[in-house]
Amino acid sequence: AQSVTQPDIHITVSEGASLELRCNYSYGATPYLFWYVQSPGQGLQLLLKYFSGDTLVQGIKGFEAEFKRSQSSFNLRKPSVHWSDAAEYFCAVVWMDSSYKLIFGSGTRLLVRP
Amino acid sequence: DAGVIQSPRHEVTEMGQEVTLRCKPISGHNSLFWYRQTMMRGLELLIYFNNNVPIDDSGMPEDRFSAKMPNASFSTLKIQPSEPRDSAVYFCASRPTGTGSNEQYFGPGTRLTVT
């Protein structure tokens, strides 16, 4: 079955610290991978995406993510977190054999300590 | 460019009433999606349109829910009659035409409260 797992429900980091949010997927077909961010009361904003090529992708707001096929992972990273990064982050996957269906993880809520 | 536009942003209604949510996709996008977000179930795809035609409505909870896309620039999601368990945030998203990238752009959502 197609599934996306974000194992951390909440993560708290201090401002200026580095961040890594985990995402794993299961299913054999080739994935298209996305990270979205949702601020309170807002819609989902696309941070970055991976389709092919370089497995390290850069996104907006200083975020990056690395696709590791052997680990079925697509972890999101940021070297130095800002207070404005506090939000909920969703990993999402479209598999090539179901070309439209975006499967979301359950989300990770990021809290930033001043 | 304007993003995906949804209206209303907030809707409070009483159980049994009809609710209509509206969406205007990004111009030129030929795919449109309706999602529902709740604490219990997260983000769920309700229905997917391609070129104004419903392709997959398997996520529509029950017959009380219906969606239409009369033209490329407008879609509605209707709930009749509404029930308290329909309370959620409903998102509309659109996807560019023929890019092969599958990225979806989301609207700000409609927060529905059914009392």
What's the per-residue H, E or C state across A3-51? EEECCCCEEEEECCCCEEECCEEECCCCEEEEEEEECCCCCEEEEEEEC
Q: What is the pLDDT of residue B101?
A: 64
Distances in Å between the Cα of A41 and the Cα atoms of A1, A15, A37, B111, B114 are: 31, 22, 12, 9, 18
A99: chain B residues, CB-CB within 8 Å: 102
Contact check, Cβ <8 Å, B102/A99: yes
- What is the SS3 assignment for A107? coil
pLDDT at A97 over 80: no
| Interface with A, mutate which of B23, B41, B99, B104 (most A CBs under 10 A) | B104
DSSP state of A97: T
Location of structure tokens 């349109």: B49
Distance separating alpha carbons of residues B96 and B112, to the nearest angstrom: 27
Secondary structure letter of residue A83 according to DSSP = G
User: What's the pLDDT score for residue B100?
Assistant: 62
Residues in chain A with CB shorter than 8 Å from the CB of B91 are: 43-44
Digit-coded pLDDT (tens) for A54-96: 899 999 999 999 999 999 999 999 999 999 999 999 999 988 7
Q: Min CA distance, B36 vs chain A (Å)?
A: 12
Name the 3-class secondary structure at B86.
helix
Residue of A nearest to B50 (CA): A100
Tens-level pLDDT at each residue, chain B (115 residues): 689 999 999 999 999 999 999 999 999 999 999 999 998 999 999 999 999 999 999 999 889 999 999 999 999 999 999 999 999 999 999 998 765 667 899 999 999 999 9
Indicate the residue type of B26.
I
A21 has pLDDT over 80? yes
Residues of A in contact with B107 (CB under 8 A): 43
The whole-angstrom distance between A18's CA and the closest CA on chain B is 27
Nearest CB to B42; choose among A36, A42, A107? A107
Question: Within a 10 A sphere around the Cβ of A28, how many other Cβ atoms?
Answer: 9
Going by pLDDT thresholds of 50, 70 and 90, the confidence category of residue A113 is very high
The alpha carbons of chain B give a radius of gyration, in whole angstroms, of: 13
Number of Cα atoms under 13 Å in the Cβ half of residue B33: 21
* B101 to chain A: closest CA residue: A51
What is the longest distance spanned by two Cα atoms in chain A? Answer: 44
Query: Contact A100/B48, CB-based, under 8 Å?
Result: yes
User: Measured between alpha carbons, how far is B9 from B21 in angstroms, rounded to an integer?
Assistant: 9
Question: What is residue B107's three-state secondary structure?
Answer: coil
Q: How far is CA A13 from the centre of its chain?
A: 16
Report the residue of chain B nearest A98, measured CA to CA.
Answer: B102
